Structure 1
Amino acid sequence: MATGGKGIKGKKITLKVAKNCLKVTFDGRKRLDLSKMGITTFPKCILRLSEVDELDLSRNLIKRIPESISKFQNLRWLDLHSNYIDRLPESIGQMTTLLYLNVSNNRLTTNGLPVELNQLKNIRTINLGLNHLDSVPTTLGALKELHEVGLHDNLLHSIPTSISKLPKLKKLNIKRNPFPKAEESDMFIDSIKRLETLYLVEEKEMCGACLRKCQLAREKLNKIKSTALPAQRKAIFSSLVSPNSMAKESQEDWRLYPTSSQSSLKQKHEDKSANRSNNSEEEKP
């Protein structure tokens, strides 16, 4: 999470500097990119560029976002990540054109999230990760257009049901929060239930087309599983040339000797065998 930010003199942003930072995106939208410029105070001069579609103030040293930010009435994309913000202004609820809001890696607490966030009826993505949230405002459950929600790396112990039941939610990142183990298990089960409903029937009760469809799905699943699981590797003995009967008599020697010495080792074992044979001849009466 962001740290520091005290006693640092930031770069002064003038209207001329801001205008030089205006860019046009590939889809023709106006973006004001003031990221990574060492800004400590929100530059009020940029309010005169309120017609921009996207505003990037990420990776700076900003502590406060003023209420006047609501003057960006056309803003669709607002990136404030990696600053020192501990509270969002109530007026943010007036920015109803917002589709994307990133305030991750700041100092936000639950009290720093205004109720007015529930007025962002068109927002698709909101990232609140890497902050100090100990609970999630249930008002976020009113944002029915949300597709992605980032709540990772906070102090959360639970997620409101209203969040997990958002009708268009596709991605919910809640990693690295101090959830109880049971809570994590329940949330996983709930997410599976939301993705599909499973019905069990006998094959004889299915039509030919449905049966074939299920068989193809099973084959596809088995294929995925087989490629996902690492193949079991057989034990490899780098110095064991061939596991013949001679090697079995002295396995450790065959493992320890280098490959280049296998011929001499083989001769060694042949000599041993010959000696045993001669000894046997001598012992015969």
Structure 2
Amino acid sequence: MAKGKGKGPKGKKITLKIARNSIRISPDGGRRLDLSKMGITTFPKCILKLADVDELDLSRNMLKKIPSSIEKFEKLRWLDLHSNQLEDLPKAIGTLQNLFYLNICNNKLTTKNLPEELTLLKNLHILNLGLNCLDSIPTSLGALKELKEIGLFDNALTTIPNSVKSLPNLKKLNAERNPFSDSTQQEEHADSIKRIETLHLVREKDLCSSCLKMCQDERDKLNKLNKLKNGTPSPPKKPSFPLLLTPNSPAKDNQKEWRLKDKHP
């Protein structure tokens, strides 16, 4: 009988030496432990001896579980767990009070397995929950008052709670490719995202000629669209553009960052 039959892949064994050699200095001077794309199937216990790092990257592995010992990383402000096989998170994640960035997209997380302790991360600015199996978002996430960006794309959401949409500092919310219950709700979500985006007002004289032409072309398109929609002629084109313009908002700037097309790009 063949040994090991039916068992999952063992994955790469991470030693303390390998972990130490994987520490990098981030642009702001912090210490980053980068163990991404190393075929890890089990959280390496040896890295608990390096728990004083500022950033931990375990993305693009085959991890199914994060142990409660993650609480040892008290200084951690940046945690990347995307593209693993996580089905839940430990309650201990709520002890990481310095956490600024948390990326857990492209896993197997369900709503019931999101720990309530996530709401304890009061310093969290960026949260990515995209590409999971979430059918709802806990209203308690509205307690994350410092949150500026949240990714909810590619889940099974039919609605987004107002407590999340109305977070005071929220600038970017990506909820694309969710089965919202009807077209009306989809329009409401689109409107809420538009309200979240930053709006820039500038004077005509502050735009370069190419930007000004682009804005004028956009206005012409809108006039034509209104004409077709209302069946009435659009007002004659004015020789000059209005003093206040609204250039494109940054809603699509980081779409490629949120959307992970492949587990192993």
TM-score in same-fold range (> 0.5): yes
Q: TM-score range by the shorter chain?
A: 0.7 to 0.9
Query: Partner of 1:145 in structure 2?
Result: 146
Deviation at 1:190, TM superposition (A): 3.5
Query: Partner of 1:159 in structure 2?
Result: 160
The superposition leaves residues 155-195 of structure 1 with CA deviations (integer Å, 9 ceiling, x where unpaired) of 00000000000000000000000012111111233444566
Aligned-residue Cα RMSD (Å) equals 2.8
Query: Partner of 2:115 in structure 1?
Result: 114
Following superposition of structure 1 onto structure 2, how do residues 197-276 of structure 1 map, counting pairs within 5 Å? Answer: 223-228=213-218
Query: Partner of 1:181 in structure 2?
Result: 183
The answer to whether the Cα contact below 8 Å between 2:172 and 2:193 also exists between their aligned partners in 1 is no
Distance 1:146 1:194, change over 3 A: closer
Amino acid at match of 2:216: S
Partners of 1:196 and 1:97 in 2: how far apart? 26
Partners of 1:193 and 1:81 in 2: how far apart? 28
Partners of 2:218 and 2:186 in 1: how far apart? 24
Partners of 2:76 and 2:193 in 1: how far apart? 32
Query: Partner of 1:50 in structure 2?
Result: 51
- How many residues are treated as equivalent by the alignment? 211
Partners of 1:215 and 1:26 in 2: how far apart? 37
Amino acid at match of 2:37: K
Aligned residue for 2:56, secondary structure, equals strand
Partners of 1:181 and 1:227 in 2: how far apart? 29
Deviation at 1:215, TM superposition (A): 11
Q: TM-score, normalised by structure 1?
A: 0.68
Aligned residue for 1:188, secondary structure, equals helix
Amino acid at match of 2:102: L
Amino acid at match of 1:153: D
The superposition leaves residues 28-74 of structure 1 with CA deviations (integer Å, 9 ceiling, x where unpaired) of 11000000000000001101101000000000000000011011000
Amino acid at match of 1:189: D
Partners of 1:112 and 1:145 in 2: how far apart? 23
The answer to whether the Cα contact below 8 Å between 2:84 and 2:106 also exists between their aligned partners in 1 is yes
Partners of 2:32 and 2:156 in 1: how far apart? 33
Q: Does 1:19 align with 2:20?
A: yes
Query: Partner of 2:72 in structure 1?
Result: 71
**Larger helix percent:** 1
Partners of 1:215 and 1:46 in 2: how far apart? 56
Distance 1:22 1:196, change over 3 A: closer
Query: Partner of 2:170 in structure 1?
Result: 169
Identity of aligned residues (%): 55
Q: More relative contact order in 1 or in 2 (CA 8 Å, sep 6+)? A: 2
Gapped regions of structure 2 (runs ≥ 5): 1-6, 222-265
Aligned residue for 2:189, secondary structure, equals helix
Deviation at 1:224, TM superposition (A): 4.2
Partners of 1:195 and 1:65 in 2: how far apart? 34
The superposition leaves residues 121-173 of structure 1 with CA deviations (integer Å, 9 ceiling, x where unpaired) of 00000000000000001111100000000000000000000000000000000
Query: Partner of 1:209 in structure 2?
Result: none
Partners of 2:173 and 2:130 in 1: how far apart? 11
Deviation at 1:8, TM superposition (A): 1.2
Gapped regions of structure 1 (runs ≥ 5): 1-5, 198-212, 232-285
Q: TM-score, normalised by structure 2?
A: 0.73
Query: Partner of 2:41 in structure 1?
Result: 40
Aligned residue for 1:126, secondary structure, equals strand
Deviation at 1:229, TM superposition (A): 7.7
Distance 1:214 1:195, change over 3 A: farther
Partners of 1:55 and 1:22 in 2: how far apart? 9
Partners of 2:143 and 2:175 in 1: how far apart? 19
Distance 1:153 1:16, change over 3 A: same
Amino acid at match of 1:30: R
